[in-house]
Amino acid sequence: MASKVRVYAKSQKWAALGIVDAYLKMYPHATLEDVNKAFPRSLFAQTEGNLGLFVTMAEKEKMAAATTTDFDDKQLEEWKRTHHYLTLADGTDIAFTVSMWTKEMFEKIVDQAKLYDIEIAKYEAAEKGFGKRGEYTLEYLNGYVPPVPVAKKGIPAWVWAVLGAVLVGIVLFLLLGKKAEPQVVEVEKIVVVHDTLYIQQIAEIEKNFNAAEFELGKAELSEDAKFVLHDLAKVMKDNEGLTLKILGHTSAEGEANHNQKLSEARAKAAVDFLVEREGVAAERLSYEGLGSSQLKNTENPNAPENRRTEFVVVE
């Protein structure tokens, strides 16, 4: 697949930072855990315990303070001065846990970047001298436009209603002199809130996923579909009992046998993305091609909205 982002940089360490920044531009809602899964430290350098390639700046400061030499302290101050760190969508600043990038390590992260359609231009040497710093820039290729992060919505009114009901119940118990059993009530309320949020999440993702169209005769996922699948993977990771079936569809153009195979390829593309890119267990997913048997727009069988994939919750 053609590259979507090219990174230009001065020095290997800035090129490595640019690669991860490109990933965050492509997946703006990625968490620290997502970044460390996409670029596992074990591929590039030795690691102890569960140490990832990135940690929060607060964690980095603790690590630097725990060392017996002042090397890490000076390096951390230099990283802050030159802004050699990244900021996630939630405002969290994250920094590398590796101090320097060797040629071998750098070649490995360049190879890893190719999995996300990110390429690196031949980097320039960093400028020498006091106050000089490396840098990187990103270029979007082949018409690629990075997704715009969707702002998180405020707390829904129904949540306030639930909290209000709980508060009223507690006040009544206190006024009537009865012994309340808050633990039982809280557990029941938590279950209700979790189930409702889960249903809302699935409904919103399903709506956006079903709206993501395919190009005529192709089975490659659109960027919109990949963006929604990233959110779907998060829900699946938070709900380990959830299994899904992906359904592929085509418009009425073309021969029936071809459409059947094409619809299967579209459904499989979504499953492969969830498994290979997002780390969802393959046994939690299945797929089926339905050809043009279930048109979304029956008045116009050749309409682009008929070229789509959908998912159904199996459990």
In this predicted structure, what is the pLDDT of residue 179? 47
Q: Which two tokens stand for residue 50?
A: 């569960």
Tens-digit pLDDT profile for residues 168-219: 777 776 666 544 444 443 333 333 333 434 455 566 666 666 555 667 777 7
- Residue 201 dihedral angles phi and psi, to the nearest 5°: -60, -50
Q: At which residue do the structure tokens 């309409």 appear?
A: 303
In this predicted structure, what is the pLDDT of residue 87? 93
In this predicted structure, what is the pLDDT of residue 53? 93
In this predicted structure, what is the pLDDT of residue 189? 30
Tell whether the model's pLDDT for residue 236 goes beyond 60.
Answer: yes
What percent of the chain is predicted at pLDDT more than 70?
Answer: 77
Exposure string of 105-115, with b = 16+ CB inside 10 Å and e = fewer, is bbebbbebbee
In this predicted structure, what is the pLDDT of residue 191? 32
CB 208 within 8 A of CB 150: no
Better-scored residue on pLDDT, 197 or 7: 7
Better-scored residue on pLDDT, 270 or 73: 270
Better-scored residue on pLDDT, 122 or 116: 116
Q: Identity (one letter) of the amino acid at 246?
A: I
Tens-digit pLDDT profile for residues 95-105: 999 877 888 88
Q: Which two tokens stand for residue 127?
A: 């400028």
Q: Distance (Å, rounded) from C-alpha 193 to C-alpha 166?
A: 12
Report the predicted TM-score, pTM, of the whole model to 2 decimal places: 0.49
Reduce the DSSP state of residue 90 to 3 states and report it.
coil
Tens-digit pLDDT profile for residues 18-65: 999 999 999 988 999 999 999 998 888 777 778 899 999 999 999 888
HSE toward the beta carbon, residue 234, CA cutoff 13 A: 16
In this predicted structure, what is the pLDDT of residue 130? 35
Average pLDDT over residues 139-165: 70
Strands (E), the chain: 5-9, 54-56, 86-87, 93-96, 118-120, 136-140, 244-248, 285-289, 309-313
In this predicted structure, what is the pLDDT of residue 21? 94
Domain boundaries, the chain: 5-140, 153-211, 213-315
Q: Identity (one letter) of the amino acid at 254?
A: G
Q: How confident is the model at residue 136 (pLDDT cuts 50, 70, 90)?
A: confident
The region of weakest confidence among 136-140, 152-156, 217-221 is: 152-156
CB 208 within 8 A of CB 224: yes
Among 146-155, 165-174, 220-229, 297-306, the range with the most confident prediction by mean pLDDT is: 297-306
Tens-digit pLDDT profile for residues 225-234: 787 777 778 7
Using alpha carbons, select from 25, 150, 5 the residue that is nearest to residue 86. 25
How would you class 62 by CB atoms within 10 Å of its CB: exposed for 0-12, middle for 13-18, buried for 19 or more? Answer: exposed
Tell whether the model's pLDDT for residue 293 goes beyond 70.
Answer: yes
In this predicted structure, what is the pLDDT of residue 247? 86
CATH topology assigned to domain 213-315: 60s Ribosomal Protein L30; Chain: A; (3.30.1330)
Q: Which residues pair with 86 in a beta bridge?
A: 94
Q: Which two tokens stand for residue 191?
A: 């279950």
